[in-house]
Structure 1
Amino acid sequence: MPWWSWPLILLVFCFILGVVAVLAGVGGGVLFVPLVSGFFPFHIDFVRGAGLMVALAGALAAGPGLLKRNLASLRLALPVALITSSGAIVGAHLGLALPPHIIQLSLGITILGIAILLILAKNKEFPEVPKQDALSLALGINGSYYEPNTDTVHDWKTHKTVPGMLLFIVIGVMAGMFGLGAGWANVPVLNLLMGVPLKVAVGTSKFLLSITDTSAAWVYLNQGCVVPLIAIPSIVGLMGGSFVGVRLLAKAKPKFIRYMVIGVLLFAGVRSLMKGLGI
């Protein structure tokens, strides 16, 4: 095959991936890395570098609008971003130091874990927080947002901040190591553990990626692992697919798409395990 055929195939593939990611409510990065590393002839380091750029592009596009609508909280995002970014830098260095087959094995286990998390996690739209803890109170982590569907303003606060912050260290390391972004883990921790309303958790998670992924992406850029021939078709394809996905969202059946994505993740996780084992 000519050299230009793979970037062209990648562009089309990522366009489809972008449509599916929006319909399923997951970030494109979590699908991009396992599928591209499993089925394209690219080194895993280049795929992870491109995966971070893909997640970063989507987060930067969405961030300003989320902040403007109070769907992303700076008071919540900044302390979490400091912890997660530090973990992402450590994870990026660790990922580049480990042999590719170890990364493939670890990636396979992680992707299977994400699929199980998507099956089990039942996000709550308005979690109950009986009392704000001391750390959350000291950091001023609370706020309110307008819900147009019910024409009401919802006040919110958080609790269990310390265990939440500890989990974000692990999330940051995994995001940097695998180039997945971290929306798949941010939302459950913010929503189910810390008691952040679902819309604010999703918005803050998206804004967090613009900081966390930037930290890890610099490491991959410095090591020469962001290749334009892989990164550019991936970003253009996923962004284009996302626009189409948003238009199809009203007509699609999200439950079916969600289960389809879980099936794809299970398949991709097994594929990564097989590749890591040399099968």
Structure 2
Amino acid sequence: MYVDVWWIWPVALFVFTFVIGVISPLSGVGGGVLFVPIATAFFPFDIDFIRGVGLVMALTSSLSSTPQLIKRGLANLRIAAPIVAVSCVMSIIGSITGLWISGEFPEGKDYITILLGIVLFIIFGIMATSKRVEIPIVEKQDKISQKLGISGSFYEPTLGQDVEYKIKNMPVAIPIFAAVGFIAGMFGLGAGWANVPALNLVMGAPIKVATSTSMLVIAINDAAAVWVYLANGAILSVIAVPSVLGITLGARVGAKLAARARPKIIRYLVMCIMLLSAVVDIWKGLQGLGYIGGG
């Protein structure tokens, strides 16, 4: 006798995203970066729906934290404004491009799955090699940053004083964020994996300002990109609702565990998971194209 068990997948999604939510605050990796590649590799959902929900998840987490970060003076609107002016447009173009490839070409979804695996290898490389500088010293600003008056200060409790900072290399940073915005929109990935190193190492923002401003950038970019997926019917509530609930509840648990956990070990575990997902996604895409047996 046939039994309808459609509810198994929403429940599995809730459990899966809850685990991602717990891991994210401990590892410093956004939920969307984990959700999209793993769900693409191991869940039987269309990649367009997975990418759409990935953006919704990244948007949910960023919107929940950004107002408080701005209030505390950590998320800098002056830094974000010139960045999102470019990256926001590119995230929309990336979303349109990804959905166009999926819809126009029979093998489009398989090619996007392969590209996703390649992007994961790039993210893995960035995570493995990038270093964080708590408070970089910026001796000279570029002309754009000077004219826009991009600087700021925040209170650092460990030092017991306000920390003032300036930004550099805006002409270099803008094309970087344009590329990241395109990738985020096309694959439904949160962009913290690239935003934070760019803000911290390229632009010289203190690490707390970099992580906080990254959340602000993600909130604006993903809010624009997600409408493209909504307009094309690529966001299903049966996938989105359990995923958002799971990652939201899991993030609260992860935030409480962060003080007692060993972030470095968890970060290495996440990198291994991402590497495995990259291999599986590329394999799945090649299989769909018929280059590997079973497609």
Return the alpha-carbon distance in structure 2 between the equivalents of residues 92 and 78 of structure 1: 21
Instruction: Look up the match of 2:156.
Output: 147
Aligned counterparts, 1:128-139, within 5 A? 128-139=137-148
Residue 277 of structure 1 aligns to a residue whose secondary structure is helix
Instruction: Look up the match of 2:82.
Output: 79
* Shift, 1:97, TM fit: 1.3
Aligned counterparts, 1:110-121, within 5 A? 110-121=119-130
Return the alpha-carbon distance in structure 2 between the equivalents of residues 220 and 77 of structure 1: 24
* Counterpart among 120, 131, 134 of residue 122 in structure 1: 131
Return the alpha-carbon distance in structure 2 between the equivalents of residues 104 and 200 of structure 1: 33
Instruction: Look up the match of 1:263.
Output: 272
Return the alpha-carbon distance in structure 1 between the equivalents of residues 113 and 51 of structure 2: 11
- Which AA in structure 1 matches 2:25? V
* Shift, 1:109, TM fit: 0.4
Instruction: Look up the match of 2:236.
Output: 227
* Shift, 1:207, TM fit: 1.2
Aligned counterparts, 1:150-189, within 5 A? 150-189=159-198
Aligned counterparts, 1:88-127, within 5 A? 88-98=91-101, 99-127=108-136
- Which AA in structure 1 matches 2:19? I
* Shift, 1:53, TM fit: 0.1
Residue 165 of structure 2 aligns to a residue whose secondary structure is strand
* Shift, 1:78, TM fit: 1.4
Return the alpha-carbon distance in structure 1 between the equivalents of residues 213 and 168 of structure 2: 16
Q: TM-score if structure 1 supplies the norm length?
A: 0.99
* Shift, 1:252, TM fit: 0.5
Aligned counterparts, 1:205-244, within 5 A? 205-244=214-253
* Counterpart among 57, 63, 69 of residue 72 in structure 2: 69
* Counterpart among 54, 57, 62 of residue 54 in structure 1: 57
Q: TM-score if structure 2 supplies the norm length?
A: 0.93
Moved over 4 A (4+): none
- Which AA in structure 1 matches 2:113? Q
Return the alpha-carbon distance in structure 2 between the equivalents of residues 274 and 237 of structure 1: 28
Residue 187 of structure 1 aligns to a residue whose secondary structure is helix
- Which AA in structure 2 matches 1:80? I
Residue 154 of structure 1 aligns to a residue whose secondary structure is strand
- Which AA in structure 2 matches 1:275? K
* Counterpart among 23, 37, 40 of residue 37 in structure 1: 40
Deviations 1:164-191 (A, max 9, x none): 0011110110000000011111001110
| Identity rate, percent | 46
- Structure 1: 5+ residue runs without aligned partners? none
Return the alpha-carbon distance in structure 1 between the equivalents of residues 241 and 86 of structure 2: 29
Return the alpha-carbon distance in structure 1 between the equivalents of residues 205 and 251 of structure 2: 26
Return the alpha-carbon distance in structure 1 between the equivalents of residues 124 and 265 of structure 2: 15
Return the alpha-carbon distance in structure 1 between the equivalents of residues 159 and 49 of structure 2: 46
Larger radius of gyration: 2
Return the alpha-carbon distance in structure 2 between the equivalents of residues 257 and 190 of structure 1: 23
Instruction: Look up the match of 2:105.
Output: none
Residue 143 of structure 1 aligns to a residue whose secondary structure is strand
* Shift, 1:198, TM fit: 0.4
Residue 210 of structure 2 aligns to a residue whose secondary structure is helix
Aligned length: 279
Return the alpha-carbon distance in structure 1 between the equivalents of residues 128 and 58 of structure 2: 22
